[in-house]
Amino acid sequence: MSPDDKPHGKTETKLIYMANQIATFFKTQPASEAVNGVATHINKFWEPRMRRQLFELIDHGDSGFSPLVLEAAPLIHRPAPAEKVKPA
């Protein structure tokens, strides 16, 4: 099943696609290097908002992420929850 078959919005589908592309790149490396490579790449290049969305999708379950992305998730820095803006 492709990410487009999942009931996600366009932003979430794109985020899943990007994470899975990173995993595809690192899949050719030994398992421990692949897991660390995915986590390092996401930690280095994804802003907190993107990582927050990643964890929201993972926490929701049945997200469409490759097993390598899910295996790397514990090594990815989870950002603090977004602060809600109070109306004036």
User: pLDDT, tens digit, for every residue of 35-84?
Assistant: 999 999 999 999 999 999 999 999 988 689 999 999 999 999 999 887 77
Phi, psi for residue 67 in degrees, rounded to 5: -55, -35
Query: pTM of this prediction?
Result: 0.81
At residue 2, the pLDDT reads: 43
CB distance 73 to 43 below 8 Å: no
Q: How far from each other are the two terminal CA atoms of the chain, in whole angstroms? A: 45
**Whole-number Å distance between alpha carbons of 67 and 15:** 15
Confidence of residue 4 (pLDDT cuts 50, 70, 90): very low
Name the burial class of residue 84, with classes exposed (0-12), middle (13-18) and buried (19+) by CB atoms within 10 angstroms of its CB. exposed
Confidence of residue 11 (pLDDT cuts 50, 70, 90): confident
